[in-house]
Structure 1
């Protein structure tokens, strides 16, 4: 395996670049593949957003792959969640996904099941849309992408294979080599049969994008052709392209189905070797950072893949759906037909049928119907619904239909339930996620977690098969031994209890204790799995530990054989830090760089990109005669984060004389300093809407929250279900009630602090739909009355901008030092006089920009003032710059660098300012004046649109 991994893609290890830190998630299921789970979720991401799964290549990490491929930037821009599984060196010596191992290429086993469990966890924690889950990967990650698409086609809407090989090409090391080069040639039918045999799924199948360099000598380009044959056969289409054009000058082909819908595409990067194509820069289609096997070839593959999947779709209108049969209140028995009608402005992609909230069946074409065998259900009342999806992922759910089943079953069989996390004997601290698996012959209704026999809380379900999870802050329990239990119930009241796990609670657990003694017994010299790099085991040790105690040794040499420049060696691993981390370790150094003034040698300890300890010599030498102890290095800057710890040596020479940096490292301990444990939950108050209010359309849920150590997030719940999360004050979530059944809804806001303590406010109940169904109108901006005005920082010297016809409308600070504001004008007289306005959103289109006014100063926001009527005369004039407005900063617009962007939902003052009897004008401005030249141009005229929701 080591030999295969070394040759297979030969990817050098990558260091994570500047990007927002990923969050590690534990307790996501049984994890038979022993993978790690990392995620990135943009701030304020709404529920039902898409999810992209990105798989790194050999010797890469999740953080490095995320930082260099541009997916995180696109997640912020297009609003989707990002899941990054990470291989561990204990599974594969150079961290390749095991796409060729029999136990890791089948449904329900190994690494594919681990990744499916991660997806289910994302759905539970963030409400990710199950119908818009996509997967992509490079090299070994590309091959594992094929495995996932084949074994779990029901879990993915699409995939993208970058320098990968077809599914089922071969099993074992020899076959893997042969697949890579020269490749395996099968017929399309033979390839397609391998995918169809991997699961019982019969379609619809995921759409597939295939990328490969034609100069790839590691994984031969013939693999792209074989993958094309595999997936076109699965889709039942031929191998003749329906579209042939270019992306950034590279050949692009599209293969459509009988309805003209693209199902497979290929992009061949001429002249490119083995890697992921990127195009570093700030342009609208640019992304990525060049690195080892991340190749700057002037095309951002991630952007084009995301567009192929439809992630850039800005359609925000949900479908309309109704369940027309059976009738509400009907008595049913045996097999009955469920029938629904659905429509959408852009087309309905599918309709799902739900029985008691669980998915029964899906229909992708009208007439939408499913058959329900009610005799397999328990006698009594059941709730039926239909749920419609459009191509943009918008959803709507029908009003419920209640039916009474007779001739069904009398259920006396209890569920089966078992605790997945924690394991028996585990030591716990801080916030953890409890997890359990539960099943029942009819259906599990709830799973309750227990502490010493007392209820801790009810779990949330991740998908139809679990796991059920509950976030628990262990600081609420006393230190010492405790029993964690789990209890499951079904709809008939049958109850089962799983075996307890006996655990120890302590709040001063070492984040890392590494003596290099093979304490975990897996055959390498590390006590803990997860280390990677090119340090090696050395017999010397600072303190004799258990077993074959050693140290880790790294030696970098420059100038030998006239090979000059900076040479490095490193040892690294991911660490999850506690609330007050301190690093202690032992080292023994030998640094020689005394040939001339250009020579240097160093030893450094880094956390992410920050050096926390070092020894450097220039035109000098240094050597320890004994082990040196480095004690209690403060790592508070990384508290409660998952980050990368790195030991590194480097030597620099400029002539043919050797410089070296040699280091032994031992007794690495990262512990939390003793301190009072934070057990105080945040204070939280759900301030809007008011208790007893009647709401419809889109309504803002607003909460205030405070804590001595800060608030990390506020979650919003309706009738016990998580509907949204906000991670920064003001804590707001816009709740779209238009697809909900009329009735009473209990609202709750839950706030968390850095220690994981949670406080909640659940004393608000609202009535949805009491004012009738919401209706919406979309108004076009009037080109004759829009424009932009520039002025000095104090508002003096205002003048109408003159570049509207050629450039659009300016916002921010221009090259002339003036500050620009734009005015849009909408004739809103079509709104009924007596209507209750329940929601409004502004859409604007990007034209060009210079710099980033959203970051000057940091956290700057583009705000929208709303005025019921014209600011002066309705045509643009200089006085509009500072004119009084009906509602100041009634909405905000997030940063965008291409396409269109929707504002946040207008607040109550903005809705009240909309004019039903004339024009409504909106003034766009940055909340703070940029200090330097930073501005953006947006389109004038009808491209800007104001959507208003109202109840007649």
Structure 2
């Protein structure tokens, strides 16, 4: 069954138009092609036998030719002599031409699109004798998601892969799950991710090596997916999630994860400042490739080149070049214009030689003889250090010995460098290991920065780039608690020394209750340093922390909506924290509040502790914008001293007409100082004491539990078969349960206890039997529709070109003919698995709620009816799919909904076929449709989410 998703344009959205690569050849007849894909290839002239094969998968709305032309893979195939395969999605499979990385039928071995791509690989091997041990796959966005699919389902086919702005394998199936995977992302353990891959095949051999690329400013597919993909594939390889190598690739953070033998198995490249797309570096240089365009982003780094090298396609060595300075000679006295030259050689080839003056780049040369001109008259008189650094075509780097020369006729340098300690700030309280940071500048260059503690040298700083800051990691645990002074000195080549004024700080190993800079200093990739945060805020590239490399902030945006969506909308960010005797809250904020339509409009930002306001900014019929980061310092929380509390940041926007109000907030540098207690991480203990395990209950039964905690128990919840029955907030903890409200049978009872810190303990070893008098009387269950699986599909009059409707949130579920001349049908899903397996269903009906409408679809044509089809289970996936529009139901037209123009409408009773189609062990889907297509724009919309109710009356024999 093929699936056609209109919403797939949002699933890894990539639109790009580029010139076609004329050399591509379409191939047909490559197998059964169950995924209905197209196959294109590029074979360079002179392709040797047993050459590698690269499979490149485009993003949404792209073509094979466009992706090939923009990403540089064809040029690399010509250079390195490998065959290139480019599968192409068809709009008949997915209306936005996205590979269906989120569809169960397309991500399993031996089926759908995954099998089609595998059959293309087989055809390439047959036609061009490619090396069966050197096939690789890569892709962007939706293509990146499908790359993970191919690596997981056919690890025996692919030796390696590269996921660019993609998703871990089997993150979720269906449209709703796909959206969630993209943003905010799915947080599973490495083992959980790895198990998904291991379950995809019976493979027992070696696993593909994987290169993972992502932009840290990607708001379409959140960069947390890089971390989750890394965890998935390191776990598959049986290695840990601690990088064995951390360096930079073209200036961007690069991590390599190796096995016990030191062989790289997984690498990650995080492109700072880059949004959603493929990194390229247009040009003719050895390491350059690609053409910049929409979602093909020029960041001065060609991902295709470095991916190919990671796979070993360049056939280059790992032996570094040799390099030595040939002029001037060591100890030479120089003046005026000086030629600095070097000799460099490599078994394969030298890419460039760089020349360094006092550790700073003087210039570079890409061809022999290697030299640069140094105008020494612009340098200070005195001693200087020269050095050459050579890079070969494989990226191996070697440096020459450094030599010293003496400059005369230059500038007399008597100016000391300027230097400033930028972290920590004056008055800061420090503990554990911190990174000191300083900015230093000099007219001829800074050669050294030294950090001092109480006037004594603490250490010499380092910097990762030509421009600062200079940093030093300082373990404060070896320093006595109390007040100390930090200072910094900078030295230039002439020996001039500059100093900043001392900064007073406090060292205490009594850790703060909270210290959150969103800096990714724990290398988790999610930019949340402290565990325990939850809510709807997301990581954002803006940050107030100048001292932390790659720091981000937490961002929340509440909007009243763009489509006449009125009322209050909120977003929040929260966690539990244990406070000390004199707690004080500090944080940085950047606000944008807009509510200037009328006096009923409002927007706010609030900071709450246990629901009480401790800081805020609000507007009504006005606006407020922070032009720069605002630091809110030392807000007293003494009211909550020595308590475990809930800290919450919240934004809200309220509107009463069809114009947007918004509240947007960036939050950074959250700190609660002067904590005297460790955070509570110990869950309460709980024991379900009644009824006893194995007992039989009837009528009203009392559920009882005992619970205790080191602090206190805030509540105990009681469950039956996983469904919450109720809770009690005070001891003795108990609940009255009307067992007659459920079917006779076996039930698993559970009690959950919560403490104020949010820790949870549970007791789930009690099984009881409900017996309420044999056959009993008639029972009724009402099921609410599932928001995640509801939606509507629109199509032409003949059912062609179906697409998922995208206006559910603003207009509801559409039925009838819309203003776009499309005909709409709605899908509602209900989890009816709580019906007893032996239930005799006596009657059923559906109730829906009117949302809006236009015209009278029941009168177009005359006598038109709105009917209900019943599906036992799900049509394909349980999420709404384009194929649902015309798919055959288990029972058709089992009931109808009479004309209604407001309020709630109940359907007629389901006929016997409809009753027989209700699923007692899983989901029941209902399709709502007009029996005839309206002849004009006439439609009705109903509320989605959980607004629809399926009522089922039954008896248990």
Same fold (TM over 0.5): no
Bigger Rg, which one = 2
TM-score scaled by structure 1? Answer: 0.34
TM-score scaled by structure 2? Answer: 0.33
